[in-house]
Chains A and B, each alone.
Chain A
Amino acid sequence: MNVTILNLGISNVSSVINSLHLLGVTTRLASSPTEVLSSPESTVFLLPGVGSFDYGVKALHHTSLFQVVREISLASQPLIAICLGMQLLLDSSEESSCAASGLGLIPGSVLKLDPNHTKVPHVGWSLTSPVYLNTPSIPLDPSLFDTSFYYVHSYYCNVPTEYVLAKANAGASTTFAAAIYTRNTLGLQFHPEKSSFSGLSLLNNALYSF
């Protein structure tokens, strides 16, 4: 198994690499379209990301990976997007100061968590639950989401329910999408690489299911 990490140069990719190595997966970094195109045929692409939405969009353009990532997903090649990576899959974000466009692969926008309802940023392990109704066509056991994962975020993805694989809460009343899916593209709001056993199991299953 091989994973190609789409390196936007904006976040530390070492935790993701350490986790993948633990799972016995080989990794390569791709920071340009050429490097992406030279990936092994069976590779799984991984888009990590920490930072602001604008920063992420800028980096996608700067590395010329914007179009490449779109093509990967539209061609149903396996893609796992984590945290900011997941948010970049959407059309837009409230965080953006210049109304920047996201990748537009899943319809929806990124909204800010309401500080009146929860402590912001939302940091910690949150119980997560699968949304069974939406998962018949997913090659991933939904019960893998029925546990807690580690989250660090101030914004969340607001997408039509048919794209939601799992949900979680911040505070008492704010429910948000924990995992979203379309055409072999999986977006995860939590950090599987920082979620110990539950995260590693999920990552392992996702890699071998696609």
Chain B
Amino acid sequence: MTLKRIIPVLCIKEGLLVRSQHFSIHQAVGDPIPTIKRLSDWDVDELILLNISSNEQLDSRRDDKWHNLGSSTFHKLLQEVARFSHMPITVGGNIRSIKQVDKLFAAGADKICLNTTLFTDPDFVRTCSQKYGCQSIVGSVDFKLDASGKTLHSYVQRGTVSTNLGFYDSIENVLALPIGELLISSIDNDGCTTGFSPQVLSCIDSHPSIGVPLILNSGATQAFHFSTALANPSVDAVAAGNIFYYTELSYPNLKASLLKSKPTLPIRPSSLNNPFLQREPSYDHERRSSLFAKEQPHSYFDESRYSSEVKDIRFCTRCLYPSLSASPMQFDDKGVCMGCKVSDAKLAISEQDYSHRLSILSKTISTILSDTPNKTYDCIVSVSGGKDSYYQVHYVQKILGLKPLLVTYNGNNYTEVGWKNLHNMRFVFDCDHIIFSPSVSVLKKLNRAAFVAMGDMNWHAHVGIYTTAPRIAVQMNIPIIFWGEHGYADLSGQFSMDDYPEMNYRERLEHAGRGFEWNFFDGIYGLTSQDLHPWKYPSDSRIHDLRLRQFYLGHYIPWESNKHLSLVKDLYGFETSATPFERTYRVGSNLDDMHENGIHDYLKYIKFGYGRCTDHASKDIRAGILDRDKGCQLVNQYDHILPSDLYRWLDYVQLSEDDFHRIADFFRDPRVWSLTNGHWVRKTLQDR
């Protein structure tokens, strides 16, 4: 029996993996490689990669990331992907010449996906087929409803130009060509989360048999969307994109749930125990050593990188966010950033919507808890002791009525008031609290090594926080972890408010760790695998067995930091810092780590030309409590400040200030910085 396939479709735009909606709204999810690697770990049936870039050249240069695709091309990305993907790969997007096709096959494509040329250049399709066989060609047809909402027409050029052909004529035209499979997408349903297009499905049903395998795409997010389509005898495969990015083990969980409700469904179960694949990246020894070459006392950055005057950075027309940022960013056609768009969508959520969201969460929690035997606690709340931690515990305990275990990663950087707030939690909430504190000598080595390798001493904290809670959850059989707000959504708008992303390994490795996993540090400064235990994430099969879920409360309840602050001050005696921060005007955040708002954030300024004040001011502009001019003023006042916690840190890791600046300069992005008469100059908001 030939099984029906479930195929992730990934859109790549200018080197970034994007979430697509109606073929026109694109939100940057991140680097494509870590996501594709996860899909490969999850034993997917097949992959479709679509290049929707406007340039041949992809640009995701980042000197501080391991998965640095850099300035590259789509076929180089494909080459990279083919190295760890042992499933069929179909590629598409703006394929017009046989030369392109040759390059794509040589880079590792198994099939190519053609759309526009099916209608504009049938001879080209025939040429491809003659050379590579019709089984290597997937005909891709995109349909959109007309104004009446009843009739479908096919579109080409990424959904922008109508062929003026209806469903039947479009399909007949394409089937007359030598293609091996047919992919049908709906522009209306792309990214809409409501399921496959009913109009497309009904046209398929009334169409006489389609002689080649049919792949149905666009809009599916729920298990029943997939099971309904898979039950259709004309459908040989279903495809979806966005839903596979946002939750842990999304793909195997989907298949498991489909098979649980219908054991006879002809699909292939995912295997998570592939002994040939390793989840953690492998680090090329030579490249790793080269990252530490900066430590040699007389090594300096390459001046020639900074000769160009033209800087291609731009800023959001509404908030203050730059196009080159720590979190990947996309803009709409009016120059408004996706962070602003998601913020608007969030502010537009009505009270009624929120009560619906909360009911989804409550229902999910009660199902999970009733399915978990021998549980010790209902959930973990990962707390730093900050205002949001207080609010989360308050909400989980007082409103949701759960019994939480509090878990903290102590990176040895607490401020005095932050440490006091943390310890106060056990008393005011009367909870059990585990504070995990790694060895200080290991922390010092990691601080220094991560500064040198990726320009961020706080790798240990970012990855440590996202590892400690899941590790304890798996050890103690606790099926739920609560996190607060999704930081990346908040800043750069990675998804729609209907995606409900949850914390997962990919996010931890790619965003918190920048592609650097614990094993990158194995052997550096004598660190051993045992020393690095606190940063080892539980295995996929342990997570799958526990069915661990990691919710961000911010997707389900209104999240207003300023309100939380006054609430937790009044109810629980939360204390803010008496001394203002040097690099931002806000007072209540990051008391758990004296470097997070300090020297860690200064390095963000060194890399990208902006700092936490830009983050805070942008959020306040989006919330309508700050105007843009005042925001610019604040940014110009704070973003460049060299903070005084630098001296604690230099003393902590035994580094001289000269060496600090010398090494930091390696990370200045040439798209932001120029070197003029020995001075660093950057494009600022005023020049925009």
Contacts and interface: CB of A to CB of B under 8 A. Distances in A.
Interface of A: 12, 14-15, 18-19, 22-23, 50-52, 115, 118-127, 148, 150-154, 169-171, 191, 193-201, 204
Contact of A122 (B2, B4, B108): B2
Contacts of B212: 119-121
Nearest to B104: A12
Contacts of A50: 132-133, 136
The 10 closest A-B pairs by CB, nearest first: A121-B135, A197-B274, A125-B3, A126-B2, A197-B271, A200-B276, A121-B180, A152-B135, A127-B1, A194-B88
Interface in B597-621: none
Interface in B212-250: 212-213, 236-237
A124 B214 CA distance: 11
Given A125-B2, A194-B88, A148 B108 contact: no
Nearest to A191: B88
A35 to B, nearest CB: 21
Given A122-B2, A196-B44, A196-B274, 17 more contacts: A50-B136, A115-B211, A119-B213, A121-B134, A121-B213, A123-B180, A124-B3, A124-B237, A127-B1, A150-B88, A152-B88, A169-B1, A194-B86, A196-B86, A196-B87, A198-B271, A200-B86
B82 interface: yes
Contacts of B593: none
Contacts of A193: 86
Contacts of B135: 121, 123, 152-154
Contact of B133 (A52, A171, A199, A204): A52
Contacts of B132: 50-51
Given A125-B268, A154-B135, A171 B86 contact: no
Interface of B: 1-5, 43-46, 79, 82-84, 86-88, 105-108, 110, 132-136, 180-181, 211-213, 236-237, 268, 271, 273-274, 276-277
Contact of A14 (B106, B181, B276): B106
A10 to B, nearest CB: 10
Contacts of A195: 86-87
A194 B5 CA distance: 14
Contacts of A118: 2
A19 B345 CA distance: 45
22 contacts: A14-B108, A18-B84, A22-B84, A51-B132, A52-B133, A119-B236, A120-B211, A121-B213, A123-B135, A123-B213, A123-B236, A124-B3, A124-B5, A124-B45, A125-B268, A150-B87, A154-B134, A154-B135, A196-B86, A198-B271, A200-B276, A204-B276
Contact of A194 (B87, B136, B273): B87
Contacts, number: 111
B1 A15 contact: no
Nearest to A150: B88
Contacts of A125: 2-3, 5, 45, 268
Contacts of B87: 150, 194-196
Contacts of A15: 82, 86, 108, 110
A119 B210 CA distance: 8
Contacts of A148: 3, 268
B2 A169 contact: yes
B2 A171 contact: yes
Nearest to B138: A123
Among B88, B236, B277: residue with most chain A CB under 10 A: B88
A56 to B, nearest CB: 12
Nearest to A148: B268
A110 B276 CA distance: 34
A124 B506 CA distance: 28
A169 B2 CA distance: 7
A200 B276 CA distance: 8
Nearest to A169: B1
Given A152-B88, A200-B86, A124 B105 contact: no
B43 A196 contact: yes
Nearest to B180: A121
Contacts of A124: 2-5, 45, 213, 236-237
A126 B211 CA distance: 18
Contacts of A154: 134-135
Contacts of A126: 1-3
B84 to A, nearest CB: 8
B3 A197 contact: no
Contacts of B5: 124-125
Contacts of A152: 88, 110, 135-136, 180
Contacts of A120: 211-212
B255 to A, nearest CB: 12
A118 B1 CA distance: 11
A154 B136 CA distance: 11
Nearest to B271: A197
Among A115, A122, A196: residue with most chain B CB under 10 A: A196
